[in-house]
Structure 1
Amino acid sequence: MPTKRSARAPWSKAMIRSQLEVVSQVRPPSLVLTNATYLNMYVKQWKQANIWIEHDRIVYVGPDLPKTAVETVDVSGKYIVPGYIEPHAHPFQLYNPATLSKYAGERGTTTLVNDNMLLFLQNKEQAFAQLDAMQQLPTSTYWWARLDTQTELDRDSVLVDSERIHDWFNHPDVIMAGELTAWPRTLKGDDEMLQWMLDAETCGLPVEGHFPGASAKTLTKMALMGVHSDHEAMTADEALCRLEHGYTTTLRHSSIRPDLPGLIRGLLDAGLEAFDHVMVTTDGSTPGFYQDGLQDALVKIMIDAGLPPIEAYRIVSLNVARHFGLDHVLGSIAPGRIAHLNILDAIDEPRPTAVIAKGQWIYRDGTSLFPNELVDAALALMPSTDVDIELTPNDLSFSMPVGLDMVNSVIMKLFKISHDTGQDELPREGDESFLMLLDKEGKWRLNTVLKGFANDFGGLVSSYSISGDYLILGKCKQDMLMAFERMKQLGGGIVLVDRGEMIAEIPLPLCGMTSQEPVEQLIVQEERLRSELLARGYKFEDPIYTLLFLASTHLPYVRATPLGIYEVMKKQILFPAILR
């Protein structure tokens, strides 16, 4: 018999008995919203009712009022919608799951479905303790279970095996498998990956794809293998193709793919009337992109693009809950649902003026009421970084004949190096920079050249990378050494140095990947780094994503990985990393 409350059964018998007593007016509800105009997701209409809440659950929606209540609030003139749900969050994009949950919740996104990538690389006990701490927050947090690491790890790295995969599948907070970036392996006969996909379905977990530019035939094959959804449509035609093939289709609006306005207009122009299998995501955008909000901002975009408001609100609530089989506890305002409620001033203004999460106020009258002590408790369980390796001038030896040439923020192609890389500084009139990927334990290094990043900077060091290793790049070796030393002092982070001067930094002491700071402060730090890099010649959308994805083998065409320079299409190491 299950002993732990799970995503699909959050309440014990004793809790349910207590809730029944509230409905029978044996006990008072903890909160009643009177004279509510609320969106009923099932009839697609705005309705009038009184909403009774007992602790974290909606227990009654209708005309009656209780004899008494612990708290009663008249919401006449307001509009009540369910808390918004982000179906595809990457909660380690400089921020962390706890600080992101707080920031998102205060803006109405009360549920996040999170990538487990950084936790996946930790030992099980340590990772699962962090999941348990997240459940103490008033917001709801669920997770997806990765099937691959998005890069080629060295043989001493964490083992991705069936035991690790199934431990995650069986965790009660895990509600999805994916995102499936290694899908070409399954098409080429990788039966282990296919078995994991089948096992996910057996566990009741939908499998999410990652299919940029996929043809109709590829979508067909992946559907036969058990993939349920995809978020990589870049045009309305691609989104329609996915819908027609039976996929739940997530439309993206992110810092590197801000596509939602065009996608919605294109779907409406194409005559689409059924949006029941559409979701939207910010896809782990960098902090600055969230200045305008999360799902609240996407609802506004959809309404402004011509989508009826009721449809827009369903897309960020009931549609998501149904996709994950959680519509009996999330996604609507009805008896039995978790009490996530957004109180709006106007139907076409989705940023709430007050937010209730699990039955408690977390934002009201312009003031955050989020329990910061619970955020701190979750942060305390995230491992800190201890950078104890030395970088020496001898490490900065560059003799490789080829390097990586940036096509955009995240796509790289191969190029032949023409500059003399034996010198201590590369010419600033060009756009070639030294690039090193250094093992986080100091065992190996990969030295090459990156073309197109920037032309007028000294050194940039980042502990933030998809493999967890250290990225060291720049024009001047002395500045690179200086930036590395500062990163060590911070216990992880991103540091920009130029001509012997510290220009910008983002401390990332948690796993070398995430900050302890509130998202609001992180936005300021990221904007400083971004503006300084733009001033020094960075010409693409998002430098943070460039650093993250340099080693990502789910993107074309060549990558700098822990194994060496890697050609993605041929799955071939062109030049290996070397031992130090």
Structure 2
Amino acid sequence: MNSAPILSWADCAARLVAVAAGRAAADLVIRGGTLVNVQSRELLPGWQVAVAEGRFAYVGPDASHCIGPRTRIVDATGQFLIPGLCDGHMHIESGMLTPAEFAAAVIPHGTTTIFHDPHEIANVLGLLGVRMMHDEALLQPINIFTQMPSCAPSAPGLETTGYEIGPDDVAEAMRWPGIIGLGEMMNYPGVINGSQQMLEEIAATMRAGKTVGGHYASPDRGIAFHAYVAGGPSDDHEGTRESDAIDRVRQGMRSMLRLGSAWYDIESQITAITEKGLDPRNFILCTDDCHSGTLVHDGHMNRAVRHAIACGCDPLIALQMATINTATHFGLERELGSIAPGRRADVILTSDLRDLPIEAVFARGIQVAEGGRLTATCPHYDWPKEVRATVRLGRAKTADDFAIAAPSGAARVTARVIGVVENQAPTRALTADLAVTGGRVEAQDDVAQIALVERHQATGQVVNAFVSGFGYTGRMALASTVAHDSHHMIIVGTDRDQMALAANRLAQIGGGATLWRDGEELALVPMPIAGLMSDRPAREVADKAQALVAAMADCGCTLNNAYMQHSLLALVVIPELRISDKGLIDVTQFAVTDLFVPGH
């Protein structure tokens, strides 16, 4: 059963008042439990709630006067009533799922509100792709608000995207009903240096009275940081240290602490609250990027809350960081994020505030999950054929496309190498002494080849470099058309023939991820929608994703959630070293750098 589009508070105030006063019957009453009040940070045993028109009408010690012959009564004895959980910053595409299937995956985990930035599809399909994500989001039985992507490309001049987003696109999107603000402003050098385009996008958002998302990935807390904050971003999720969180909130930003599939940044920053005693209302929990395997098997925002508690955070504070803090940040504290009169009736029943088992979920007053099982329908958008034909290589690839020519006459070279850092977004800028055979530089030991294959305009371009940290052995290659943020094709391999096989396979199926070894395909995750998402059920996609992870491990990889690390190797706005269609990118300098170290 789906909830109908919810009426505004103003449009149903008369009925809410009548129910609260006992003159009309509620649609739903939940009684017998202990209410978690995130407004006052209290546990209120015996408090009851009455729901009408998808909103809380009465919240208090006794809702018996709200009950009529048709009122559904839910007995919550032995359970806590907590607000539905909110994800303050995330990318639906990272789940390999469409908004409908993402909602279906996270609802049983207690997520009832999502603030998503579809900048992945924006890089492939432009404003049209954003609109499709926005429209499917509005069909769902939970609240999915869209942040208009700000940076496609994320770093102008350092990458080429399928489409570009500009101020006119932002101004247009601000008029759409589900747009809540501007997505993470990743082009922080542009803001710092007064880029007219970036500042116009921010201005268009501010004129609409909406929130500007932040992304400051530099460790520099000097003048550059202060210039970025002055530009208007009001939150940031790129912190990895306690000092990162403290510096942000001191400047009036909300510090977003993330726990995604591969980002474990809560533990290192939560001490700003638990040890330094900073005001927790300026902190928000988010996931940023979660793939389908994590969603199905481990959870979503309930996982982040549990983790924060395990790291020493008071359970009520952790819940505030995943509910009312998030709603307040986006100007929606009178609409959601707490169990209080007039708010959307998004509520979870759980028997334990630390382990947080999600026993029942209500969204807008309708039960949408019970005992980990989805009880609602999540409608799909009718995705057109053209979004399933976005992988354009120009011609089939061969092993020669992945050969790296050595400088003339060299027997060995010193090459720059992208160093993967487990469980973090940043990489390290490394070097390696590599052998030359027949004029070609060869990967060796833990140094594998990485290639970026242009897939938007069919130019046939291939950029080759080196990466370490995956631990691959044997003759293998992993290719993916999920390659944040430009989403060309990224291939990591130890053998050029396998790299060609993997590239051609993804061109054949319209995108996704595939792993090859010794001429055999070991795993495949088809993602035909923009080469980023599947429209298959979450559990089916999760099974394929888990098979991919297992195949990566079988090829020697021991990293946690290594596919997520793979997909970020082209993210040219997070230090230190990345790859793009322009070449190897030194993100500390925001400049193209040579593959080989001069003079070595």
Match in the other structure for 1:164: 169
User: Distance in 2 between the 1:145 and 1:551 partners?
Assistant: 21
The answer as to 2:477 corresponding to 1:459 is yes
Match of 1:411 among 427, 432, 436: 427
What secondary structure is seen at the aligned counterpart in 1 of 2:318?
A: helix
User: Distance in 1 between the 2:443 and 2:190 partners?
Assistant: 42
Q: CA deviation at 1:130?
A: 3.5
Q: CA deviation at 1:427?
A: 6.4
User: Distance in 2 between the 1:264 and 1:570 partners?
Assistant: 30
Q: CA deviation at 1:135?
A: 1.5
Match in the other structure for 2:411: none
Q: Counterpart amino acid of 2:552?
A: L
Q: Counterpart amino acid of 1:384?
A: R
User: Distance in 2 between the 1:246 and 1:156 partners?
Assistant: 33
Match in the other structure for 1:109: 111
User: Distance in 1 between the 2:383 and 2:109 partners?
Assistant: 21
Q: Counterpart amino acid of 1:246?
A: G
Structure 1 window deviating more from structure 2 (502-511 vs 158-167): it is 158-167
The answer as to 2:279 corresponding to 1:260 is no
Decide whether aligned partners of structure 1 residues 203 and 424 sit closer, same or farther in structure 2, where only a CA change above 3 A counts.
same
Match in the other structure for 1:144: 147
Instruction: Flag structure 1 segments of 5+ consecutive residues without an equivalent.
Output: 1-6
Q: Counterpart amino acid of 2:140?
A: L
Q: Contact 1:130/1:381 (CA < 8 Å) preserved in 2?
A: no
Task: State the percentage of identical aligned residues.
Answer: 20
User: Distance in 2 between the 1:111 and 1:158 partners?
Assistant: 29
Deviations, residues 134-162 of structure 1 (Å, cap 9, x unaligned): 22211110122222122557678423322
TM-score (normalised: structure 2): 0.85
Q: Counterpart amino acid of 1:118?
A: E
Q: CA deviation at 1:323?
A: 0.7
Match in the other structure for 1:531: 550
Please give the root-mean-square deviation of Cα atoms over the aligned residues, in Å.
3.1
Match in the other structure for 1:4: none
User: Distance in 1 between the 2:301 and 2:475 partners?
Assistant: 36
Instruction: Flag structure 2 segments of 5+ consecutive residues without an equivalent.
Output: 408-413, 596-600
Match of 2:582 among 559, 563, 566: 563
User: Distance in 1 between the 2:57 and 2:406 partners?
Assistant: 66
Match in the other structure for 2:52: 54
Structure 1 window deviating more from structure 2 (433-442 vs 291-300): it is 433-442
Match in the other structure for 1:3: none
Decide whether aligned partners of structure 1 residues 350 and 421 sit closer, same or farther in structure 2, where only a CA change above 3 A counts.
farther
The answer as to 2:337 corresponding to 1:322 is no
Q: Counterpart amino acid of 2:455?
A: D
Match in the other structure for 1:131: 134
Q: For 1:177-326, what aligned pairs fall within 5 Å after superposition?
A: 177-212=182-217, 213-215=219-221, 217-265=223-271, 267-270=273-276, 272=277, 274-290=279-295, 291-326=297-332
What secondary structure is seen at the aligned counterpart in 2 of 1:533?
A: helix
Deviations, residues 51-78 of structure 1 (Å, cap 9, x unaligned): 2222422222232322333422222222
Q: Counterpart amino acid of 1:504?
A: A
Equivalenced residues, count: 566
What secondary structure is seen at the aligned counterpart in 1 of 2:32?
A: strand
User: Distance in 2 between the 1:39 and 1:432 partners?
Assistant: 51
User: Distance in 1 between the 2:361 and 2:11 partners?
Assistant: 27
Q: Contact 2:443/2:494 (CA < 8 Å) preserved in 1?
A: yes
What secondary structure is seen at the aligned counterpart in 2 of 1:566?
A: strand
Decide whether aligned partners of structure 1 residues 481 and 129 sit closer, same or farther in structure 2, where only a CA change above 3 A counts.
closer
Decide whether aligned partners of structure 1 residues 364 and 189 sit closer, same or farther in structure 2, where only a CA change above 3 A counts.
closer
Q: Counterpart amino acid of 2:54?
A: D
Q: Contact 2:235/2:254 (CA < 8 Å) preserved in 1?
A: yes
The answer as to 2:463 corresponding to 1:447 is yes
User: Distance in 2 between the 1:41 and 1:432 partners?
Assistant: 49
TM-score (normalised: structure 1): 0.88
What secondary structure is seen at the aligned counterpart in 1 of 2:163?
A: coil
Deviations, residues 426-485 of structure 1 (Å, cap 9, x unaligned): 566563326242333321412323232434232322222222322244333332332233
What secondary structure is seen at the aligned counterpart in 2 of 1:176?
A: strand
User: Distance in 2 between the 1:138 and 1:422 partners?
Assistant: 60
Q: Counterpart amino acid of 1:480?
A: M
Q: CA deviation at 1:319?
A: 0.7
User: Distance in 2 between the 1:274 and 1:481 partners?
Assistant: 53
User: Distance in 2 between the 1:368 and 1:509 partners?
Assistant: 25
Match in the other structure for 1:336: 342
Decide whether aligned partners of structure 1 residues 366 and 144 sit closer, same or farther in structure 2, where only a CA change above 3 A counts.
closer
